């Protein structure tokens, strides 16, 4: 078997009986064992081999179908029974969930073989996967660089061929930005398409799970077994599955605000991608998303506010880290939270609590919500003329580890937040967006972002697949494992 098989290729290998699920799983487990990227928090070798044997007996009886026998990894934010779910936090270092996330159940029902849980920024807060209690993840294209975040473990593992696909979550860019940094494909579905049940909450009005893989075809294969209405998530949409439509000639909106101040070399690569889309029969049109500049500040107020309430549950009493020998209840709360959370998580809780407090609520939280509404309206207006929007996924390629860290008071945390300028607008609007590889700068991958109207993932994936039929950026593989 080749070193970097796609999900689609593995399905064909299994269908042709050219290799067994056990052989394929073992091959991936040994790549994981040989890797020093720190992309996994937990590897579940024994469970994976049991699942692979079960897959082989299913294939023997019924042939290969769905994802039967395909190895995958879950971001360590998805609850899994029998395997720890840490969110890369000391707070949940030993936490084993009493139930599976809906996404985990659905992918298991489709026959996927889970080989482990991937490393990430603590509680999904960050853009570099350096905010992990288990140490930073390396980018397989240059191990001195970060893989992006927060789903950096999933992105690095897929890019290095440790798994053909993995789950991620995206609140403000955490699937798309690491996909771009690692030269893979990542989809943030429409808010509500994928159930949030069993996904450890960061900012509930924005959190969305999605697939990460090397190709858009694989994203589609995974999404089919992740999406769908779930009565256990009150914001889950009751809407049919993502279809696959033949493509017409589309109008691709180029939002002029995204090009202001954009790095020249990234601009040239994205422009080349736009020209390639024209070569496929689409046309580019100039559009405007006038409130773009407000997206990042609005996002960091809203996401932090929601995080401050969601993370109130970690009190050292019900579950999670508990301080030893507390003097009284206040001391228990105080020390459990002080010891359990890392610096960035504490910063978000403080900012969010401040923004929600009496006297500041109107000035910050309510204002951010009003901006969110305007940003959403920008997208609805543009989608009156454009079928899709093309933007860069990130303002830079992967940066070096340590470049934007802000562990002490001298650091500037907002430098890291600038990474999200191109991804947070779609999150605030709730629309789906994909990042796919479209070039390289100095040996590091560049990602382009395509954004579609609510629930138009079919269009997004069809264009991405057509682009990948004509280009080979997504087939390049890095040296590092
Ligand atoms: N980088 C963004 C943040 O730190 C987005 C994270 C995410 O999408 N989970 O909040």
Q: Go through 215-229 and write b for each residue having 16 or more CB atoms within 10 A of its CB, e for each that does not.
A: bbbbbbbbbbbbbbe
**In the predicted structure, residue 221 carries a pLDDT above the cut 90:** yes
Judge whether 155 and 147 are in contact, CB under 8 Å: yes
> Rounded to two decimals, what is the model's pTM?
0.98
Q: Name the residue of 78, 122, 174, 416 to mutate for ligand 1: max ligand atoms within 8 A of Cβ.
A: 174
The mean predicted confidence, pLDDT, of the chain is 96
Q: Name the residue of 420, 425, 427, 430 to mutate for ligand 1: max ligand atoms within 8 A of Cβ.
A: 420
> Ligand 1 atom closest to Cα of 151?
9
From ligand 1's centre to the CA of 280, what distance in Å?
33
174 tagged catalytic: yes
Grouping H, G, I as helix, E, B as strand and the rest as coil, residue 132 is coil
Q: How far apart are CA 408 and CA 187, in angstroms?
A: 34
Per-residue confidence band for 245, with pLDDT thresholds at 50, 70 and 90: confident
Per-residue confidence band for 412, with pLDDT thresholds at 50, 70 and 90: confident
Judge whether 144 and 399 are in contact, CB under 8 Å: no
150 tagged catalytic: yes
Please name the residues in contact with 86: beta carbons below 8 A apart, sequence gap of 6 or more.
41, 42, 76, 92, 93, 95, 117, 133, 134
Please name the residues in contact with 413: beta carbons below 8 A apart, sequence gap of 6 or more.
344, 347, 406
> Ligand 1 atom closest to Cα of 171?
8
Q: How far apart are CA 63 and CA 65, in angstroms?
A: 7
Hey, whose CA ends up nearest to atom 5 of ligand 1?
172
From ligand 1's centre to the CA of 206, what distance in Å?
10
From ligand 1's centre to the CA of 126, what distance in Å?
5
Whole-number pLDDT of residue 406: 78
> Ligand 1 atom closest to Cα of 427?
8
pLDDT tens-digit map of 108-138: 999 999 999 999 999 999 999 999 999 999 9
Whole-number pLDDT of residue 247: 79
Please name the residues in contact with 261: beta carbons below 8 A apart, sequence gap of 6 or more.
none
Q: Go through 296-309 and write b for each residue having 16 or more CB atoms within 10 A of its CB, e for each that does not.
A: bbbbbbbbbbbbbe
Q: How far apart are CA 98 and CA 319, in angstroms?
A: 11
What average pLDDT does range 390-414 have in this prediction? 89
What's the order of all strands across the beta sheet hosting 71-75?
40-43, 113-118, 71-75, 165-170, 208-213, 185-188, 433-441, 444-451, 388-392, 251-255, 283-287
From ligand 1's centre to the CA of 173, what distance in Å?
6
Cβ < 6 Å from ligand 1: which residues?
Answer: 124-127, 150, 170-174, 202, 303, 420
pLDDT tens-digit map of 301-331: 999 999 999 999 999 999 899 999 999 999 9
pLDDT tens-digit map of 426-465: 999 999 999 999 999 999 999 999 999 999 999 999 999 9
- Report the DSSP pairing between strands 388-392 and 444-451: antiparallel
**In the predicted structure, residue 69 carries a pLDDT above the cut 70:** yes
**In the predicted structure, residue 481 carries a pLDDT above the cut 90:** no
Q: How remote is the C-alpha of 259 from its chain's centroid?
A: 24
> Sign of torsion, CA 188 173 449 432?
positive
244 tagged catalytic: no
From ligand 1's centre to the CA of 388, what distance in Å?
23
Whole-number pLDDT of residue 1: 64
What average pLDDT does range 69-97 have in this prediction? 98
Backbone φ and ψ of 139, nearest 5°: -85, 125
Grouping H, G, I as helix, E, B as strand and the rest as coil, residue 326 is coil
Q: Pick the catalytic residue: 138, 150, 308, 435?
A: 150
Beta bridge partners of 42: 117
Judge whether 111 and 67 are in contact, CB under 8 Å: yes
């Amino acid at each position: 078997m080749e070193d970097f098989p796609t999900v689609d290729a593995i399905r064909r290998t299994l269908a042709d009986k050219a290799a067994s699920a056990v052989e394929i799983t073992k091959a991936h487990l040994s790549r994981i064992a040989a890797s020093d990227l720190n992309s996994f928090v937990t590897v579940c070798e024994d469970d994976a081999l049991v699942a692979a044997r079960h897959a082989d007996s299913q294939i023997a009886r019924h042939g290969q179908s769905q994802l039967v026998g395909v190895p995958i990894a879950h971001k360590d934010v998805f609850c899994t029974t029998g395997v720890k779910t840490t969110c890369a936090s000391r707070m949940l270092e030993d936490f084993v969930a009493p139930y599976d996330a809906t996404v985990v159940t659905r992918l298991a029902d489709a026959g996927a073989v889970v080989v482990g849980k991937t490393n990430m920024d603590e509680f999904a807060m960050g853009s570099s996967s350096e905010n992990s209690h288990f140490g930073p993840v390396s980018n397989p294209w240059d191990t001195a660089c970060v893989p992006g975040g927060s789903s950096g473990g999933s992105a690095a593992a897929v890019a290095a061929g440790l798994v053909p696909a993995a789950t991620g979550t995206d609140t403000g860019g955490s699937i798309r930005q690491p996909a771009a940094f690692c030269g893979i494909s990542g989809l943030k579905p429409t808010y509500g398409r994928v159930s949030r049940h069993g996904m450890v909450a960061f900012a509930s009005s924005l959190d969305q799970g999605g697939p990460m893989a090397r190709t858009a075809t694989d994203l589609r294969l995974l999404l089919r077994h992740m999406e769908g209405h779930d009565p256990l998530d009150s914001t889950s949409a009751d809407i049919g599955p993502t279809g696959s439509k033949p493509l017409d000639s589309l109008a691709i909106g180029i939002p002029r605000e995204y090009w202001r101040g954009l790095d020249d070399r990234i601009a040239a690569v994205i422009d080349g991608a736009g020209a390639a889309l024209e070569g496929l029969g689409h046309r580019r049109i100039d559009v405007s998303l006038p409130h773009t500049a407000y997206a990042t500040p609005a996002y960091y107020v809203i996401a932090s506010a929601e995080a401050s309430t969601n993370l109130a549950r970690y009190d050292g009493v019900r579950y999670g880290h508990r301080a030893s020998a507390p003097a009284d209840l206040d001391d228990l709360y105080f020390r459990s939270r002080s010891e359990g959370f890392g610096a960035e998580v504490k910063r978000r809780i403080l900012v969010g609590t401040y923004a929600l407090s009496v006297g500041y609520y109107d000035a910050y939280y309510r204002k951010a919500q009003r901006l969110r509404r305007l940003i959403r309206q920008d997208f609805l207006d543009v989608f009156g003329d454009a079928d899709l929007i093309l933007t860069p996924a990130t303002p830079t390629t992967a940066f070096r580890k340590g470049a934007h860290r802000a562990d002490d008071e001298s650091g500037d945390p907002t430098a890291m937040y600038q990474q999200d300028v191109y991804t947070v607008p779609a999150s605030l609007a709730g629309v789906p967006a994909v990042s796919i590889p479209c070039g390289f700068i100095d040996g590091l991958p560049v990602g382009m972002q395509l954004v579609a109207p609510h629930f138009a993932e079919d269009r997004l994936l069809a264009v991405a697949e057509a682009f990948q039929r004509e280009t080979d950026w997504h087939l390049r593989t890095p040296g590092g494992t």
